[in-house]
Amino acid sequence: MLYERLVRPALFRVAGGDAEAVHERTLGVLTRLSPLLRRYPVAGGPRRTVFGVDFPNPVGLAAGMDKNGVALGAWPALGFGFAELGTVTWHPQPGNPRPRLVRFPDSAAIVNRMGFNNLGARALAARLAAFGPAPVPVGISLGKSKVTPVAEAVEDYVRSFRVLHRYADYVAVNVSSPNTPGLRSLQDRAALGDLLGALAGERAGVPILVKVAPDLTDAALGEVLGVCAEHGIDGVIATNTTLGRDGLTPADTARATGEAGGLSGRPLAGRAREVVAFVARESGLPVIGVGGVLDPDDALRLFDAGASLVQLYTGLVYRGPGLVRRISAAAARREGVR
């Protein structure tokens, strides 16, 4: 395909191969085009109504691509049926030191240790207020500020929720990134119960989802699902990036050994399906499947495993924006939608 033959090699050479610089430049172009692109009609596909929200098609932008909501007008024009912004934190923060984004093209994978770099919840709220109604549903992913001790995490999340929930069609509670110290401990039963209980008390009708790590055992996942049930949580996002390095080529495995952070892309596909299937089977909650979606068949397998919706990030990097519409078209053909 044109993107993979010509565009991707050129992009990967930009800024001496600095992956984050390429991301920033691409996002900058989309930001400038956003006012124009938001006028384009929303891409069709098999519609979904999930946790009470109507989605024009089931393919969404995963959190991490547009943390500050700067290109919100562009994502529907690229074919996305929804966009998840963030992860955003209460306090603005620069994230971890650069370099912090490493590509492994032979394995169709990325390792990132971004560390929730973002301008803060109040800045995102101001941007969304100025933007006005979005053409597709918007999710907002919330995380813990690095400067906030884990013991004070609940109030950190609640503050972000209070200023952002009115702009969200759903809120994702990110307790599974491997790049903020102590964050994954919030998946433990007691800590997660305190957090979800506090957020549920603030929900004001906004669906709340929990994003889980692929590295949890089935027993630990079961505990997370139990806490979700106790607090009336509306859905699960499965999964975040993994600390594992399985599925990389031997050469990439050697390179990745010294790279801290979470792995995404093709090596995560199998585990993502397993977690989606477990969550769907054990909880009955709606699931957004994310991880290793690099072609339409990957997305269809997530749907078969029980996902109601899917999200892309690494697949967009390696396959280009055309992947979004190819997935929607494949899902429409399967469902007989025209």
CB 294 within 8 A of CB 265: yes
Concatenated DSSP letters of 5-68 = IIIHHHHHHGGGG-HHHHHHHHHHHHHHHHHHHTTSPPP-SS-EEETTEEESSSEEEPTTSSTT
Provide the token pair at 292. Answer: 């290793």
DSSP code for 3 = I
Q: Is 328 an annotated catalytic residue?
A: no
Strands of the sheet with 101-104, listed across from one edge: 101-104, 109-112, 262-265
Single out the residue of 135, 123, 128 nearest to residue 44, CA to CA: 135
Residue of 107, 177, 264, 283 with catalytic role: 177
Ramachandran area for residue 64 (φ above 0: left; ψ -120 to 50: alpha; else beta): left
CB 117 within 8 A of CB 143: no
Concatenated DSSP letters of 131-153 = H-S-SS-EEEEE---TTS-GGGH
Distance, first Cα to last Cα, the chain:
25
DSSP H helical segments within 83-217, as ranges?
A: 121-131, 153-164, 189-200
Name the strand (E) or helix (H) holding 296.
Answer: helix 296-305
Show which residues are catalytic. Answer: 177
